[in-house]
Amino acid sequence: MPLYPLLFAPILQYRLWGGRRLAELLSAPQGVDGPIGEAWLLSDRPDHQSRVVAGPLAGKTLGALLEEYPEQMLGELAGRFHRFPVLLKFLDAHELLSVQVHPSDEQVEHLPAGETGKTEAWVVLEAGPESRIYAGLRPGTTLGELRSALAAGAIAGQLVGFTPKPGDGLLLPAGTVHSLGGDLVVLEVQENSDVTFRLHDWDRVDPATGLQRPLQVEEALDCIDFDQGVLRPVLPVVEAGARVRRERLFDCGQFRLWRIQGELPFTVGAAGLPRVLVGIAGSGDVLHGGASHPIGFGDVMLLPAMVGECTVRPRGLLSVVEVALPEVPTTSVVDGSSCSGARLGGAAPQA
C-alpha cells in the first residue's frame, strides 16, 4: 500500500500535577475527567500505541505499521531501531512535577530490558507569571550536600531555575535534575523511554490513591551528572528568514528539531527518511500525491520515509515543529553543550 502523511490521535494521561488545558486544546473525548498532565502525541510503547485517525490505514497502530512496512516507514533507518526511537508529548504542568532524573544510555544497570536512556527537550507553548522550570543543580553541589538537602526537605535550594516564556526551548540531557510547573504547557520530545527516578515529590498525596508517590532516591542519585553546569534556553539557529522562518532548536544524537513559521507555502520532510510534524499554532494543509492533509494545533503527523518531501500550505499564519530521528544508533548521552544544532545562551537563570 502506498503510504501517506499519517495523522495520529493523542493519548491523554492522568497526572496529579496536571490541569485541564490539554482537554480544551485537544478536544478531549467526553468522560476524560480529572487532571490531565500529559497527551502522548506519538508513542510506540507496548502499553500506549498511537493509532492513525485518517485515510485507508485508520485504526492501525504505529508499532503495527513499523512491523508491516519497515522500509517504507523508516527508509534508510530501517533495521536500526527495535521500536520508533522518539516519543512526543504535550505536558500541562499546572503544579510542579516531581524533582526527577533520567538515566543515560550508558547507565545500563538502571535500564530495564529493552529500554534506552532518556534525553529530552521542551518547547514552551504557554506560560504564566507563576511558571517555573528547574534544570540542573547549583554549581559545585556535591553528593553529600544534596543528600543533606533531601533529608532536610530543602531540595529547592539546590536547584537552578528560571521563569520561562512562550517560545523558549530547553535541552535536558540524561542525568539532569529537573522539574517544571506553575501553569506551563510544553511540547516534549524525548528518547522513547519511560524510565524516571524521583528525588522529591513536594510531599504531595495523590488523590487517586490517598498515598504519596514512591521515590527512587538512590537510583536518582546514581544517575545525576554533578559536573553538568547551568542549563539555559537555547538560542535558535535561523536557517531561513523573510516570510517563512525556519529555526533549528536542537541537534543532538537523540533527535533534531526545527520550528517553522510562515504564511507562504514551505517544504518539510526529507527523501528516504521519516519526519514528524506537530502543529503548534494556526492551521494549514500538507500536500502529497495530489491529496491535502489538514494540520492544526495539537496535530501530530508522521511523514513516512517513502513520502519524502511535502509542501505545507498555511491558512494564515502557521507554526509547526519538525522532528528528525537519529540517523545512527545512540550509544551514549550527548552533552547539551556539544549539540551542533543550537547554541546555549541567554542570561544565567536565577534559583
* DSSP state letters, 109-154: GGS-TT-----EEEEEEE--TT-EEEEEEPTT--HHHHHHHHHTT-
Give residue 303's pLDDT.
98
Question: Which residues in 164-174 are b (16+ Cβ under 10 Å) and which e?
Answer: beebbbbbbbb
pLDDT over 90 at 85, yes or no? yes
Task: Please name which of 221, 173, 222, 183 lies closest in space to residue 333, comparing C-alpha atoms.
Answer: 173
Rg (alpha carbons) of the chain, rounded to whole number:
20
Give residue 44's pLDDT.
97
The matching CATH number, chosen from 1.10.287.3510, 3.40.50.720, 1.25.10.10, 2.60.120.10, for 236-335 is 2.60.120.10
Give residue 155's pLDDT.
94
Half-sphere exposure of 235 (CA within 13 A, CB side): 6
Domain 6-234 has CATH 2.60.120.10: yes
Other C-beta atoms lying within 10 Å of the C-beta of residue 77: 20
Question: Which residues in 312-340 are b (16+ Cβ under 10 Å) and which e?
Answer: bebeeebbbbbbbbbeeebeebbbbeebe
Give residue 282's pLDDT.
97
Q: What is the pLDDT of residues 231-244, one digit of tens each?
A: 999 999 999 877 89
Give residue 345's pLDDT.
37
Reading across the β-sheet that carries 99-101, which strands appear in turn?
159-162, 132-137, 178-181, 99-101, 197-200
Q: What is the pLDDT of residues 216-225, one digit of tens each?
A: 999 999 999 9
Q: What is the pLDDT of residues 60-76, one digit of tens each?
A: 999 999 999 999 999 99
Question: Cα separation of 18 and 135, whole Å?
Answer: 19
Write down the mean pLDDT value for the chain. 90
Q: Which residue spans of the chain are classified as CATH 2.60.120.10?
A: 6-234, 236-335
Give residue 240's pLDDT.
85
pLDDT over 60 at 340, yes or no? no
Give residue 139's pLDDT.
94
pLDDT over 50 at 336, yes or no? no
pLDDT over 60 at 351, yes or no? no
Question: Which residues in 5-20 are b (16+ Cβ under 10 Å) and which e?
Answer: bbbbbbbbbebbbbbe
Q: What's the mean pLDDT in 15-39?
A: 84
Quickly state the pLDDT bin for 167 (edges 50, 70, 90).
very high
pLDDT over 60 at 268, yes or no? yes
State the pTM of this model: 0.91
Q: What's the mean pLDDT in 102-125?
A: 95
Question: Cα separation of 131 and 183, whole Å?
Answer: 6
Task: Please name which of 218, 184, 192 lies closest in space to residue 38, comparing C-alpha atoms.
Answer: 184
pLDDT over 50 at 334, yes or no? no
Which is more confident, 243 or 103? 103
Quickly state the pLDDT bin for 327 (edges 50, 70, 90).
confident
Give residue 339's pLDDT.
47
Task: Please name which of 343, 123, 120 lies closest in space to residue 238, comparing C-alpha atoms.
Answer: 343
Q: Is 62 helix (H, G, I), strand (E, B) or coil?
A: helix
Which H/E stretch holds residue 25?
A: helix 21-25
Give residue 27's pLDDT.
67
pLDDT over 60 at 30, yes or no? no
Exposed/middle/buried for residue 229 (C-beta within 10 Å: 0-12, 13-18, 19+) = middle
Quickly state the pLDDT bin for 29 (edges 50, 70, 90).
low
